[in-house]
Structure 1
Amino acid sequence: MAEPFANPDVVIVGGGVIGATVGWRLQEAGLSTLIVDRDGQIPKASWAAAGMLCPVSEAHFTERELLDLGLQSAKMYPEFAAELEAASGASIDYTSDGTTLVAMDADEVRALRRLFAFQKECGLPVSWESADALHERLPMLSHLAVAGVFAPQDHRVDARKLLDAARSAFVAAGGRWLSDDCNTVRIHAGRVVGCDIGDHRIDCSTLIVAGGAWSGRLAGLPKELVPPIRPVKGQMLAIGMDPNAPLIDSTIRGRRAYLVPRPGGRLVVGATSEEKGLDDRITAGGMYDLLRGAYELLPGTYELPLLETWCGFRPGTPDNLPILGPCEVEGLVFATGHYRNGILLTPVTASAIARTVLDGAAPEVLAPFSISRFQTRA
């Protein structure tokens, strides 16, 4: 029992894709790293995610910093995926076939045109498609679809395979994994000195908070450094398409649902957004909304088998932006609060947080996402 508790250089609290890839990068750089993941549970957000890499189609008018970070991370994905697959020996099904936003009526066309204008203003690679062009490219799309926007650089990945590969790469690099709760972080004289895990005390000089929706529950943090994170429930489902004749082979997004195809005919449909705490029940209403949204976009889904239902918990912050980087406590680093964008932001987060630890200072790209933005100033 003694060896797993040998003192590491870095402790990461949370073993989702963020924690695992940060740990992998740190191990590669020569720092001994221990990941502590509560009760060995599969992290809900990582496991549940649809795996869309869509900074362009999910661009929001008031989130320019997040758009810039997402674009940088998306650009990193091809090389990141290749490195991770080589390190883990497993595919993550990174696919670069674009995403289509679909409008079904006049109101949706007006909203889509406003978004399209914003995307063009930002210099993003998008094209407007008429109903004829849309149906020529997506023949199984509902005949009610009247217009669309195609974002060729919005890609996708299998989030569950990404999670497995990240964990495998971390362990293969020599990282240690502990399936337990981190009870408290120990801080003395303004710096991290260790943490308590179960009945064991571990000394470390760096602790990274990467616990997703559970990040705010870590004891021992000063009140002003408790991350203001809430769980946002998302229900999802999967439908089985004919693998030899799938209804679609690229992601499409409508007002009520998004549809993400997988190899082998699996079609992921998501997602609800519910302020229900950690209620993990699958509801009839949630499934109805998703199935209705899928049918409105692809009527052919009506006859297809329902394969799976599940839910996850996005780590939401008050401004919907992640909490990234160091703080006034030396050695305490945040990598959490990614909300809907954890899978997209994995490469840039892993790289930037690793550089923060290795260099002792955060890269400039993390500046807008410091926890200091939530601290009350007298």
Structure 2
Amino acid sequence: MTADVVIVGNGVLGLSVAVETALRDPALRIAVVGPQARPGSASVAAGAMLNCFAEVTRRTGEHPASRAKFALAREAARLWPGWLDRLAEAAGAGAVPVRHARGTLVVLGARTTADGAGSMRAIRAAAEEHGEPFEDVDPYDIGFLEAEAGEQPVDALYLADEGAVDARQLLAALDAAAAGRGVIRIADEVASLVTDEDAVTGVRLSSGTALPAGAVVLAAGAATGRLIGQLPPGSVQPMLSGAGVALETERVRGEAVPYVVRTPTLVGGCGLHAVPLGDGTEYVGATNHVSFDAPAGPRLGIVQALLSGCVAQLDRNIAFSAVRHWHHGMRPVTWDTFPLLGHGPLRGLYFATGTYRDGFHGSPAIARHLAGLLTGGAAPEDEKNDLYAVFAPGRKPVETMTADDAVERFAEMAVHVAVERGMRLPHFLDAEPIAAACRQLAHTCMELLGVPVAPAPEILHAVSEAGAERIRQVADSLRALRRRD
């Protein structure tokens, strides 16, 4: 079998690229490769919040790459309504209804820090700047939430145009749309890329079968890191795994949330959130733990923090809910935390991965960009810009801060996490001794790397937990990237 396009990965990004490309050029023979059960898939485990402004932090506008990422999120938000309609049309008789919960309430709990308060100010400022409708909400009059005593929210705002879709339903809709457009499905894993000098000419499956292709798109999420490791040194930056855990629950006491309820995004992590799934069922999440290699499963302490945080800061009645299903998935996290989108360093190779926590929301825009590259068609006027240039897969890692900033933000993250998890100090002490110890740990990690880089706090934390050999491998890759012209 030979394909015009092979897409590695059958999550939301891989399938979205396949469907969009098939819609643009029905004559193309497109194959999507991925195990049917999607083990460890971030798409399967996602809360699928369609949040753009609710994701804004005080760091969003600091660097051109961060601003480009925000612009991509805004473009995706514009495309989502039409994308759902196009999926239903592409699926035809096999169309799968996708629940679309509209509205997002952002709440800031009493157990907050300057980081959380700064994010709330940044959300309001961004919404005002871009004309996004929002409404300030009295935090003491949110009838369907009942935080624990002393944990009541101190600030809240409502974004009417944001919300969420049901991730499992959307995957089913993508499956149906792909089938409706003749996309070939191969229930296998890609073991390696097939190369010829400076070009990728296909893939080799774990079964040993070679699949020749005119173009190969890497959209396998965190699993893409293994294939990146097969490329020439210095071609693409390392890929890490961001583990997230969440659960589906059924309400027993209190009201199910009528729309998305979440806390702001914090340095190094994501906010707590509850997403309505209908009929009293809710998605409660989520966590973020970045590591060099995918863990065997969720850590008990992280699960404990998730559950206690949601019960305390969102609604204590969640403690009575019945657990229906656990979700655990791996997010694809690049060294600089920005996505890999577009042409790869070898001819015939493309990337649609490295999206961290933004892949689901960004999928309509990313699919449109990749489909334009794969079909060679003229891009619409709103695609003729350099929005994606900063996300070129062969780039050197984007550095948004100095080494000193990286150390300070790592310490800041540690203190924020400690406060969020209930740290209480006597009046004659402050958090400076904790911050000082974390600064020392950060300096030690930077010395172990031996490369003048300034990674995000969660990446530096991954270094602190990694073994010496894995740190050496990553450092060698970073050095090779820095040596490239």
Q: Same fold, TM exceeding 0.5?
A: yes
Give the direction of change, closer, same or farther, for the CA distance of 1:106–1:246 in structure 2 (3 Å limit). Answer: closer
CA-CA distance at 1:186 after TM superposition: 2.2
Identify the match of residue 41 of structure 2 among 41, 44, 50. 44
CA-CA distance at 1:201 after TM superposition: 2.2
Amino acid at match of 2:7: I
Query: How far apart, in 2, do the equivalents of 1:273 and 1:366 lie?
Result: 25
CA-CA distance at 1:280 after TM superposition: 3.7
Amino acid at match of 2:49: M
CA-CA distance at 1:302 after TM superposition: 2.3
- SS of the equivalent of 1:311 reads strand
CA contact (8 A) 2:106 2:261 kept: yes
Amino acid at match of 1:273: N
Match of 1:352? 369
- Which has the greater radius of gyration? 2
Deviations 1:214-248 (A, max 9, x none): 102126533333452111111112221259x7332
1:78-117 superposed matches below 5 A: 78-88=81-91, 89-104=95-110, 107=113, 110-117=117-124
Give the direction of change, closer, same or farther, for the CA distance of 1:223–1:38 in structure 2 (3 Å limit). Answer: farther
Amino acid at match of 2:231: L
Give the direction of change, closer, same or farther, for the CA distance of 1:96–1:341 in structure 2 (3 Å limit). Answer: same
Match of 1:3? none
Query: How far apart, in 2, do the equivalents of 1:82 and 1:175 lie?
Result: 19
CA contact (8 A) 2:236 2:345 kept: no
CA-CA distance at 1:308 after TM superposition: 2.2
Match of 2:321? 304
CA contact (8 A) 2:103 2:159 kept: no
TM-score, with structure 2 as normaliser: 0.70
User: How many residue pairs were aligned?
Assistant: 370
1:164-243 superposed matches below 5 A: 164-197=172-205, 198-218=207-227, 220-241=230-251
- SS of the equivalent of 1:286 reads helix
1:1-378 superposed matches below 5 A: 6-28=1-23, 29-30=25-26, 31-38=28-35, 41-42=38-39, 44-60=41-57, 61-62=59-60, 63-88=66-91, 89-104=95-110, 107=113, 110-120=117-127, 122-123=129-130, 125=132, 127=134, 129=136, 133-142=138-147, 144-197=152-205, 198-218=207-227, 220-241=230-251, 246-254=255-263, 257-276=272-291, 277-296=293-312, 297-359=314-376, 363=383, 364=385, 365-374=387-396, 375-376=481-482, 377-378=484-485
Further displaced range: 282-291 or 153-162: 282-291
Stretches of structure 2 lacking an aligned partner (at least 5 in a row): 61-65, 265-270, 397-480
Query: How far apart, in 1, do the equivalents of 2:167 and 2:135 lie?
Result: 29
Stretches of structure 1 lacking an aligned partner (at least 5 in a row): 1-5
TM-score, with structure 1 as normaliser: 0.89
Query: How far apart, in 2, do the equivalents of 1:271 and 1:280 lie?
Result: 18
Give the direction of change, closer, same or farther, for the CA distance of 1:215–1:360 in structure 2 (3 Å limit). Answer: farther
Query: How far apart, in 2, do the equivalents of 1:147 and 1:172 lie?
Result: 46
Deviations 1:320-345 (A, max 9, x none): 22100013422211001111011101
CA-CA distance at 1:278 after TM superposition: 1.9
CA contact (8 A) 2:110 2:154 kept: yes
Query: How far apart, in 1, do the equivalents of 2:310 and 2:111 lie?
Result: 16
